[in-house]
Amino acid sequence: MKHRRGLIHKINRAFIFQGLFISIAALLSVFFAKVVLEETLIKEAIKQEAEYFWQQYRSDKNFPLPDTQNLTGYFDTSNLPDDIKTKQPLSLGFHESEDQGVVVYKSRQQDTDLYLFYFRDQVDSLAIYYGLFPLTLILIFLYTTLWFSYRFSHRMVSPVSWLADQVNRIDFSAKEISPIDLEEMPFKTDDEIQLLANSIVHLGERLDSFIERERNFTRDASHELRSPLTVIRIASDMLLSEQGLTPTTEKSVLKIKRAADDMEDLTEAFLLLARESDNALSADEVCINEIIDEEVDRAQAFNRTKKIPINVSSTGRLLIPAADKVVSVLLGNLIRNAILYTEHGHIDISVTHSSVIIKDSGIGMPEDQVEQIFSPFYRGNNTAAVGHGVGLTIVKRLSDRFGWPLKIDSAPEKGTCIEIQFNAEELRELKS
């Protein structure tokens, strides 16, 4: 499962992005304001200055040319920057000198040319001074507000992060789940956080109670359910050893024995699935080949009347670290299921370097039924076989729990093929 960042990390990232966005937006605003100031306001002001000068000059030829810190006027071209002189004849309008940082505006009245020099560098300095100084004050105010907001958010989220860390430290495999000690909370919390903490504590107490009941059930059921089944099996074996049993009686005793075996497997599977964790299961290295041989021998009780050939082949001895009872229940259910749904033909069991393949020549099933066979108590529409409808459900739950995927291929009247794929990192194949 992909690890996701915590709330505090997300809040930190959100505030960092917000700060960067504000800075970029402020700098872009100053830049565009400077462009608008130069291209619109200042140039319009220069045009108005030229019009004003011509109005005064028409009435007074001695009216002085503009001469300020940022704007100077000339009638001749001797003071033009060199890179602008090369453009002669110079057209009316604005011209910019990249060498000297000067913008020249040329206007004409009654065959007289006026050149107004606007010194960009000085205005740029003013724009930077009067733009960056207010911008700095605004940014200081915004960043201070962000910092206080961050501290407040961090303070609000810290109790939740602390609770999450405490819950994450709980050892669910321990005999008892240690409750969270709210007195150890390192900060003062609001009522909502206190309510959440109390709910988590109460949940832990209920989990302790549930786990204790689960342990008691699996322990008691393991003993109490196996005992009568063992008595039934022993009694069935004793009856079968008696001489003079009629065929009908022997058939009935065999049914009882098969039902007892089936019930024992179901009981074992249910107890395995009911356990809280897999720690209680012994995970020794088991040989898949040996378990298949044992389960095929046990399944012969279901094959007495059909006498369907069961062929077992392998490329070697497949060893995996697992509980032998888990593998027995898994494979035993699949083998018995293949016998129940096969009336003629044969059953082939293959052990490869990473999987077990069980293929029968039974009635098979359409594709829409393949997706439903793992549902509890589901049985195909095209079968009259006797079964409880839970065998494949148990198989699916065991395969999901221990990470052994199932691959199923089936078609009507062509049989079914089921492959159990074991984890590659858990395999060890020993060639025979």
Farthest CA pair distance, the chain:
150
At residue 357, the pLDDT reads 94
93-107 tens-digit pLDDT: 888 777 777 888 888
Phi and psi at residue 238, to the nearest 5°: -65, -40
Cα–Cα distance measured from residue 266 to residue 263, given in angstroms and rounded to the nearest whole number: 5
135-185 tens-digit pLDDT: 777 777 777 877 777 777 766 667 777 777 766 766 666 656 555 666 666
Cβ atoms of residues 416 and 341 within 8 Å: yes
Per the listing, tokens 């509890």 go with: 376
Count CB neighbours of 133 within 10 A: 10
Phi and psi at residue 104, to the nearest 5°: -110, 130
Cα–Cα distance measured from residue 261 to residue 332, given in angstroms and rounded to the nearest whole number: 11
Choose among 339, 336, 377, 343: nearest CA to 363. Answer: 343
At residue 384, the pLDDT reads 47
Q: Cα angle at 204 between 200 and 208, to 5 degrees?
A: 170
DSSP class of residue 67 equals B
Collapsing DSSP states into helix, strand and coil, what is residue 13? helix
pTM of the model: 0.49
How far is C-alpha 10 from the geometric centre of its chain's CA atoms? 16
Cα–Cα distance measured from residue 55 to residue 49, given in angstroms and rounded to the nearest whole number: 10
At residue 2, the pLDDT reads 46
At residue 362, the pLDDT reads 87
Phi and psi at residue 266, to the nearest 5°: -60, -45
Q: Where are the domains of the chain?
A: 7-142, 170-280, 282-430
Collapsing DSSP states into helix, strand and coil, what is residue 97? strand
Cα–Cα distance measured from residue 40 to residue 37, given in angstroms and rounded to the nearest whole number: 6
Choose among 430, 334, 340, 339: nearest CA to 383. Answer: 340
At residue 311, the pLDDT reads 93
Cα–Cα distance measured from residue 259 to residue 302, given in angstroms and rounded to the nearest whole number: 10
Residue 428 burial by CB count (10 A; 0-12/13-18/19+): exposed, middle or buried? exposed
Which CATH architecture group holds 170-280?
Orthogonal Bundle (1.10)
Q: Which residue numbers in the chain have pLDDT < 70?
A: 1-12, 30, 33-40, 88, 121-132, 154-157, 166-167, 169-193, 219, 221-223, 262, 265-266, 269, 273-283, 376-390, 424-432
Which helix or strand (DSSP H or E) is residue 311 part of?
Answer: strand 310-314
Which CATH architecture group holds 282-430?
2-Layer Sandwich (3.30)
At residue 1, the pLDDT reads 40
Tokens of 64: 């002085």
Cα–Cα distance measured from residue 25 to residue 10, given in angstroms and rounded to the nearest whole number: 22
Phi and psi at residue 242, to the nearest 5°: -70, 140
